[in-house]
Amino acid sequence: MTYHVLVQFDVPSDKREAFVSAGLFDANSSLEKEPGTLRFEVIRDQHNRNRFYLDEVYVDEAAFLQHCKNETIARFNELIDDYALGPVFLFKGYRIEG
C-alpha cells in the first residue's frame, strides 16, 4: 500500500511564482534523490490562485518520514518561510487496494 500526503499552502499573490519555483525544486529533487518518492506534484487551486497543494506519494510512511529529514525539504522551507502560510496537512494515509 502506498502512503499519500496532501499539503496545503496559501501565499500572497506577489509570491505565487516564487512558491511554484520552490515547490518544483522540492518535487524534482525528491523524485531524483529519494527512491521512496513515487509522485510529487505541485497543484494550484482552481478557485483560489493563491492556494497551492503538494500531492505526494511514497512507497510507505517510512519513506515520507525520511523525506522530512532530507536537505531538500529543509531548503524548500527556507525558500518559502518568509511568506507562505502552511503547511496544513489535509490528509496522510495509505491507499486502499483491492
**pLDDT tens string for the chain (98 positions)?**
999 999 999 999 999 999 999 999 999 999 999 999 999 999 999 999 999 999 999 999 999 999 999 999 999 999 999 999 999 999 999 999 98
The three-class DSSP label of residue 40 is strand
| Beta bridge pairs of residue 26 | none
pLDDT of residue 46: 98
Tell me how far apart the alpha carbons of residues 93 and 90 are, in angstroms, rounded to a whole number. Answer: 10
Q: Give the per-residue pLDDT at 50.
A: 98
What amino acid is encoded at 86 in this protein? G
Rounded Cα–Cα distance for residues 45 and 31 (Å): 22
Distances (CA, A) of 35 to 27, 39, 89: 13, 11, 23
Q: How far apart are CA 31 and CA 97, in angstroms?
A: 23
